[in-house]
Amino acid sequence: MNIHIFTSLYLLIQALIIPIVISSTIHVNTCRSYCGNITIDYPFALQYGCGHPGFRDLLFCMNDVLMFHISSGSYRVLEIDYAYQALTLHDPHLSTCDTIVLGGKGNGFAVEPWREPYMNPTADNVFMLIGCSARSPLFQGFPGKHLPCRNVSGMGCEEYYDCPAWDLVGHRKVGPGSYGSGPPECCALAFEAIKSINLTKLECEGYSSAYSLAPLKMDGPNGWSYGIRVKYSVQENDDFCHACEATGGTCGYGSDGIRQMCMCGNYNSTSNCDSVKSSSSRRTWSMGSALTGFSMGMLVWMTGNQI
């Protein structure tokens, strides 16, 4: 056989070895994904096994619309702010300044007990409960007991009563101290005050929710941002994920849905990618060296036979 054939064979083997070695040292984050114009990244994920276990089975992408699902219902995700660790949610049955939705249709907001350490509405998010029954837990002990209703970040029912939507529904407009013999038509409070916004249990007809993004006073209820602003947190010091990402891995969790895992390409680690990288690298270079040695040996042998 002509030596040129083996020279070509040697070059071909080298061309195959180099991509194998390079690919063994590069890891692509397969957990990062997109839904519409929203990026889904740690601690969230759309794929099972990706992200933090406290946020599993939470987000779903339907026709490029990102949905957030908890025990109280499904909400559309308008934004994920990774810098401030917050999500902005929209409930289609949420009352605003232009429309008041009654009939107990709204989701409110309540998470599963095991999710409570990981997410709750922000402290500057006000919930305004509308048309609650006198039997509501909110008003137990009324009128002798002090009501939990109060303004949150400068937003409350007194201003909300000025919205044009109240003219359309024909409900009573009353201000603080004007309750008479019955409870107020609207009761504003922070999520922390009752820990769960459940319209059925609270015996309320509807609700509104607004949040503040700045310390500046907004120009009345027409200028409020309506929606639910949720603060999320991984809680514990997330050294595991930081170490995983620092070594080129992607944070995820095991098949039990609890234990955190570091995904390192074709391998998973319970710590980080350094251990699997070293063994994988040795195997890759050993295979590359063997192929190189074989091709060089064949080339020398053929050269000797040609002399």
Q: What is the pLDDT of residue 209?
A: 97
Q: What is the pLDDT of residue 2?
A: 56
For residue 117, the surrounding DSSP H or E stretch is none
DSSP letter assigned to residue 185:
S
Q: What is the pLDDT of residue 214?
A: 67
What pLDDT, in 10s, does the model give residues 235-294? Answer: 665 788 888 989 989 999 988 888 889 999 888 888 888 866 554 444 444 444 555 554
Q: What is the pLDDT of residue 76?
A: 98
Within 8 A by CB and 6+ apart from 189, the residues are 126, 127, 129, 148, 149, 150, 152
Ranges of residues in the chain whose predicted pLDDT is under 70: 1-29, 141-146, 171-182, 214-218, 235-237, 275-307
Cβ neighbours of 52 (radius 10 Å): 22
Q: What is the pLDDT of residue 143?
A: 55
Query: Whole-model pTM?
Result: 0.77
What pLDDT, in 10s, does the model give residues 83-105? Answer: 999 999 999 999 999 999 999 98
The span from the CA of 51 to the CA of 240, in Å, is 12
The span from the CA of 131 to the CA of 250, in Å, is 48
Q: What is the pLDDT of residue 206?
A: 95
Cβ–Cβ under 8 Å, residues 208 and 98: no
- Max distance between CA atoms of the chain, in angstroms, equals 114
Q: What is the pLDDT of residue 202?
A: 93
pLDDT more than 90, % of the chain: 50
Q: What is the pLDDT of residue 4?
A: 56
Cβ–Cβ under 8 Å, residues 211 and 126: yes
